[in-house]
Structure 1
Amino acid sequence: MSAILALLAAASWGVSDFVAGRVSQRLSPIAVVGWSHAVVSVILTLVVVIGFRDIPSSGSWLAWSVVAGLGGAVGLLCLYAALAAAPMGVVAPISSLSATIPVLAGILVGERPEHGVWAGMAVALVGVILVSGPQVAARVDARPLLLAAAAAVLLGTGLVALGFASKVSLIHTLWVMRLTSLIGYAVLALIARSTGDVPRKDLVVIGAIGAGDLLANAFFAAATSLGMLSVAAVLGSLYPVATIALAWIVLRERLRGVQYVGVVLAMVGVALIAGLSRS
């Protein structure tokens, strides 16, 4: 069940990223993310006020929730900055290594997957890197590479924090996460003196993007509660496969040969992990 939930998280993230990518062609990516978090924050606040007023008092839970929110928000900013300065084929493979952070965290807390599961995780990670369309650039400044690496570390750390905090309370963790990231984007808006000039007609779609991301986080948190953090992180990192598949089906985008290989490897990795997890 944990593997299924992690794959549902990957699918939700992939669909959200696809829609966000389309909307970001007309609007600022930071505005899209900021407004999507704003819409979700309002909804979650209403949910907490109406049905979940008993907020956990654990200081460690609050700290992990804030780290999860900051890791996701700052990680995305680093990723967007890297993409603005270097080709996607250079940045995406580096940022996709974010799954290695939860794997290391899982080892530190005593997780010991079977050898076959390790093999499946390794194959799946290679598949994710290839799906992102790696390319060799003759000249790339160090700055975007460092930003991509920072994005990987921050996003991975955010997933670790989400996994730990959600064991106390999933709803409250998601709520604090979104409020934390929203505060960060609000500060950016104040500095820039702009909220992105998002038309009202786009708020519904942007809200749907935020809802998809929220659902993905919930699936991932549930997966870590039922299974290993390391395995859930690797399966959750397969979201580029869903994004690429939608681009191929909806937009008729042509995939490169290396991306086809990546999809196959990702599927093989999933089969290995799922098969051995049931045994």
Structure 2
Amino acid sequence: MLALGLGMIAALCWAVHDICVRFVSQSGAIYPALVAVVLSGTVAMLPLTLWLGHWDTMTRTAYGLSAVSGVFFTVASVGLYNAFGIGPVRLVAPIIGSFPVLSVGWAAWNGQAIAGDQWAAIALVVGGVGLVSVLSDEDESNGSQLKAIIWSLVAAFGFFATFATGQAATLVGDELPVTLVSRLIAVVLLTMILLRQTGPKIPARRNWPLLGVMGVLDAIALSMIMSAGTLDRPEFAAVAASTFGALTIILAWTFLKERMTGGQWIGVALTFTGIGYLAI
């Protein structure tokens, strides 16, 4: 199913992005890095969008939904960075990764038939991602775990709403302009938040190349999810995208030589069993 394929591309991009976050978060403030990532991804996609985007198809409704999607993308980003800033990963990652349940539930609410076996497969995906995260070695918290849970719920809802409104916008517009407008709104809002924060406003110069790569990856991932809005079962793109947490840990095991337990491998197997079943 094409929607699942786009979701997996998004998941891989976000997984590599999260590996990069590990290096950036150790050497600078969060909000300057977040603004730099969103801004660099927006700038990178600007020429392509102006050239290939079908701007003539963008209706007033499409612009409005794109703007709302940008607001929710801001909410999701702030929630994600704050949740991971507090931690631990094993607590926040499963909560954030549960957003596909909201996406599929929303599709069902709007009349999309979701069979029982599909719900079971979705539960396998979310449960597998959660198992991988819960069995991670990172136990320390940098603050109140209640705050971490609240920020995680904010991020989960933000991602669900970003995808729901963005995909709705692509039905009455075009995915490239929709993604660009959404990101422009996020850049403006995140910059306003940054200016109200104390501390550095610009990321460390040594991180600029890495932040640029992260921005491009983030832009590709979001574009993949938005593009699924015109396909059959677009909610399944969100399900596939939620595997980014498991893929991050697999990439860390592959390239950073971080340990993976037998239980985590079981979680990975459950995750991709669910994805494979949905693709049938």
Q: Give the alignment's TM-score, normalised by structure 1.
A: 0.88
Q: Distance in 2 between matches of 1:211 and 1:166?
A: 21
| Residue 279 of structure 2: aligned partner | 274
| Residue 164 of structure 1: aligned partner | 168
Shift of 1:202: 2.9
Deviates more, 1:78-87 or 1:44-53: 44-53
SS for the counterpart of 1:166 is helix
| Residue 216 of structure 2: aligned partner | 211
Q: Distance in 1 between matches of 2:27 and 2:10?
A: 26
Kept after mapping to 2: 8 A contact 1:20/1:32: no
Instruction: For residues 7-35 of structure 1, give each alpha carbon's deviation from its aligned partner in whole angstroms, at most 9, with x where no partner exists.
Output: 12211221222222222222223222210
Query: CA separation of 1:166/1:18 partners in 2, compared to 1, >3 Å: closer, same or farther?
Result: farther
| Residue 38 of structure 1: aligned partner | 39
| Residue 263 of structure 1: aligned partner | 268
Q: Distance in 2 between matches of 1:269 and 1:90?
A: 22
Q: Distance in 1 between matches of 2:63 and 2:178?
A: 8
Kept after mapping to 2: 8 A contact 1:93/1:134: no
Instruction: For residues 199-240 of structure 1, give each alpha carbon's deviation from its aligned partner in whole angstroms, at most 9, with x where no partner exists.
Output: 0x4322211111111111222222332221322211111111
SS for the counterpart of 1:75 is helix
Kept after mapping to 2: 8 A contact 1:101/1:160: no
SS for the counterpart of 1:132 is helix
Kept after mapping to 2: 8 A contact 1:33/1:210: no
Q: Give the alignment of 1:235-250 within 5 angstroms.
A: 235-250=240-255
Give 1:195's match in structure 2, choosing from 172, 179, 201: 201
Shift of 1:175: 0.8
Unaligned runs of 5+ in 2: none
Give 2:147's match in structure 1, choosing from 143, 146, 165: 143
Shift of 1:64: 1.8
- Tell me the percent identity: 23
Q: Distance in 2 between matches of 1:208 and 1:264?
A: 29
| Residue 221 of structure 1: aligned partner | 226
Q: Distance in 2 between matches of 1:232 and 1:64?
A: 19
Q: Distance in 1 between matches of 2:79 and 2:276?
A: 33
Query: CA separation of 1:38/1:114 partners in 2, compared to 1, >3 Å: closer, same or farther?
Result: same
Q: Distance in 1 between matches of 2:182 and 2:87?
A: 29
Q: Say yes or no: does 1:180 pair with 2:181.
A: no
Q: Give the alignment of 1:76-95 within 5 angstroms.
A: 76-95=77-96
| Residue 69 of structure 2: aligned partner | 68
How many residues are paired up?
Answer: 274
Deviates more, 1:165-174 or 1:14-23: 14-23
Kept after mapping to 1: 8 A contact 2:19/2:248: yes
Q: Distance in 2 between matches of 1:251 and 1:57?
A: 44
Q: Say yes or no: does 1:113 pair with 2:84.
A: no
Kept after mapping to 1: 8 A contact 2:102/2:160: yes
Give 1:154's match in structure 2, choosing from 158, 166, 169: 158
What letter is aligned with 1:42?
V
Query: CA separation of 1:85/1:216 partners in 2, compared to 1, >3 Å: closer, same or farther?
Result: closer
Kept after mapping to 1: 8 A contact 2:243/2:271: yes
Query: CA separation of 1:13/1:140 partners in 2, compared to 1, >3 Å: closer, same or farther?
Result: same
Query: CA separation of 1:84/1:11 partners in 2, compared to 1, >3 Å: closer, same or farther?
Result: closer
Kept after mapping to 1: 8 A contact 2:75/2:154: no
Q: Distance in 1 between matches of 2:67 and 2:105?
A: 21
Q: Distance in 2 between matches of 1:43 and 1:83?
A: 26
What letter is aligned with 1:15?
V
Instruction: For residues 135-166 of structure 1, give each alpha carbon's deviation from its aligned partner in whole angstroms, at most 9, with x where no partner exists.
Output: 899x9653322221122111211111121112
What letter is aligned with 2:234?
L
